Amino acid sequence: MEEVIGNDDSASSHEPSDWHAIQWQKIERSVRTTQIRIAKAAHECDWRRVKALQRSLTRSFAARSLAVRRVTENQGKRTAGVDRELWETPTIKWEAVSALKQQRGYRPRPLRRVYIPKANGKERPLGIPTMKDRAMQALHLLGLEPVVESLSDPNSYGFRRNRSTADAMSQLFVCLSQKAAAPWVLEADIEGCFDHINHEWLVNHVRMDKTILRKWLRAGVVYKGQMTSTIEGTPQGGIISPTLANVALNGLEAGLRAYIRTQVAPSKVQKLKVNVVRYADDFVISGASKDLLEEVVRPWIEAFLAQRGLRLSPIKTRVTHIDDGFDFLGWNFRKYSGTLLIKPSNKNVRAFYGKVREIVKSHKTVKQADLIEILNPVLRGWAQYHQPVVAKETFNKIDSLLWWRLTRWARRIHPKKSAAWVVKKYWTIFDGRSEFAARVRMGDGEVKWKRLYRLADTEIVRHKKVKGDFNPFDPAWEAYGEELRAQRLLKSMAYRTQWTSLFRSQNGKCAHCGIAMTKETGWHDHHLVPQGMGGSDSLSNRVLLHPVCHHQLHARGLSVVKPASE
C-alpha cells in the first residue's frame, strides 16, 4: 500500500485562520519531509511511490501556502499576467491558498508576451503567466524538484539549489588548469533552447502530473491582443521552465561518457580527457584532440539534442584550442605559456561599462549622493560576480573609465568652473586617496560620508566549489548544505558588516520562525524597539527576519526576542 502524508480533509481543523496566522516553521518542515521521501523514492526508481507522494504533497495545505508565498515574494511579484491581477494583500494571498486546492478542471490562462533587450542588441521573449498559474507551477515544482535533483548530472550547475556560475567556472578550472589537461574545447550553443523543446518528449519524461504539464505547454501566448498557439518549447518566464529545460538536458554528461566507453578500449578512456560542464543550456566539453570533439563528440551531442527537438547553433558552436581561449558565462578561459587564467570577458566588460555609462548619462541632474546610491549596488554586484577570477586589472580599468565619466558629469553641472574646482568639490581625500564622495545628513542630524564603491578594492577570493554529488534533499548532505548555504550568504553580505554580524549571531536563522535565511527567502533588518519610539540603531536593538515573518509580526502585534547567542 502506498504511504501518503496527511491531506487537507484530515488536517483542516488544524489549519490557521488567516495568512498571518500561518506557522511557517511547521509548513517548511512538513514540505521538506515529503520532499526527502520523494527524493529517496526517485533514487530507488520507485515511480509509483514518487507519483503518490507528489499527488499528496500538491494537495496539502503546507505546499499550497509555500507556493503562494514564493510567487508573492519573488522579483516578479509586481508583474501581472494577461488577467492583470496581482496578489498584494494578505486576504488575497489567503484566498489564493484555498483556490489552489481545486485542481480538477484547472485550465491555465495564456501567457503574456513581453520582450527584454539582450546584450547583443536583440530581444529575448518572455512569457508571463498569471499569478494563479505561477502559483500552480511553484506548487508542482515542490514535488518535481526532488526528482530532478536526484537524477541530475553532477556537473550541471544552472537553476539548481546552492549551485551557481562560479561553481561551473571552478569545475572548468579543475578540468583545464593542469599542464596535462585537455587542450581542446567544444563551445556548444543550443539554438533557441527554451523555444524548441519537444512537447511530447517532455510529457513522456518529466515525472509530474502529465495532464497539467500538457496544459501549461499548450497554453498559448498573447501579444498585442493576438493569441498564438504554442506547439513547441517551454516559455522563459515561468517558474517551472528552467527545471523543465534541465530535465531535457540531464543525461548529457553520463550519456556521453557511456558512449565514449563503447568507442575505445577501457584503458584509453582516461586519455581522451572528455569532461562536460553545463550551466542551464550553455555547456563546454573538453577533449584530447580536435578530431575527437568534431568527429565523435559533436555527432553524438547532435543526436542527443535531436531527440528533444533541439539542435546546436552552426554559427556559435565551435572547437577551440585552450591557448586561443574561449568565453563562457562572462569569463574568458585561456592558457598563457601553459598557465590557465580566467578573466572577465571583453564582451562582459563592455556590456557592464555601457550599463554604468547609461546610468550616469540618464541621471544628469540628480544629487551626487543619489547618484552614488544608484551606482554602488551595480558596481558591488558586478565586482562580486568576478571576485573569484583574475580581475584586478579589469577593475582598475573600469575605475579609471568611471572617474573620467563622473568628471564629465560634474563639469556639465558647473560648466563655468575649472576642472580643479570640480574635483575639489566632488572628490574628497580619504587615507591619502581621492574618492567620489558626498556628505549626507541622517535623520538624527548626524552627518556621514557616502562614498562611491571602488572596484579595485574588491578582494580576489577563490570560490569554493559545491561537490558534484550534493543533493539538497538527501538527509546525508544536510550538514554540508547548511554550511555551504551559510558561507555563500555571508559572502553576499560581505559589504554590509552589520548584517554579517547579525547573521552570525543568529546562526543564519530567522529570529522569529527559526528557519534558515537564504537568497531565495531574503531577509529584513528589524528593530526590536522602533526608532520612532526611541529605539537605537545599534546591533543590540536589531535582528534579521524573513520578510514574511516581519509582516506577520506587525500584523499580529507580536514581538521577537534577541537570540540568546548574542
**151, 42 contact by CB (below 8 A):** yes
Q: What's the pLDDT at 176?
A: 96
376: which residues sit within 8 A by CB, 6+ positions away? 452, 453
Between the alpha carbon of residue 8 and those of residues 76, 100, 179, 455, the distances in Å are 29, 12, 60, 53
pLDDT tens-digit map of 488-511? 888 777 667 777 888 888 888 888
Measuring CA to CA, which residue among 479, 461, 491, 443 is closest to residue 391? 461
pLDDT tens-digit map of 430-484? 999 999 999 988 766 678 899 999 999 999 999 999 999 999 999 999 999 988 8
The 433-441 sheet, strands edge to edge: 427-430, 433-441, 447-451
DSSP for 445-478?
A: S-EEEEEPPPGGGPPP----PPPTT--TT-GGGH
42: which residues sit within 8 A by CB, 6+ positions away? 50, 146, 147, 150, 151, 207
Task: Say what percent of the chain tops pLDDT 70.
Answer: 95
Q: What's the pLDDT at 565?
A: 54
Q: What's the pLDDT at 497?
A: 74
DSSP for 27-63?
A: HHHHHHHHHHHHHHHHHTT-HHHHHHHHHHHHTSHHH
Q: What's the pLDDT at 518?
A: 83
Q: What's the pLDDT at 564?
A: 64
Report d(CA 398, CA 414) in Å as an integer. Answer: 24
Report d(CA 191, CA 503) in Å as an integer. Answer: 43
Q: What's the pLDDT at 11?
A: 43
283: which residues sit within 8 A by CB, 6+ positions away? 188, 249, 252, 276, 277
Report d(CA 81, CA 256) in Å as an integer. Answer: 40
Annotate 430-442 with three-state secondary structure.
ECCEEEEEEEEEC
Helices 90-99 and 61-71, axial angle in degrees (round to 10):
130
3-state secondary structure of 355: helix
Q: What's the pLDDT at 5?
A: 41
Q: What's the pLDDT at 508?
A: 86
> Which residue ranges of the chain lie beneath pLDDT 50?
1-13, 566
Report d(CA 38, CA 305) in Å as an integer. Answer: 28
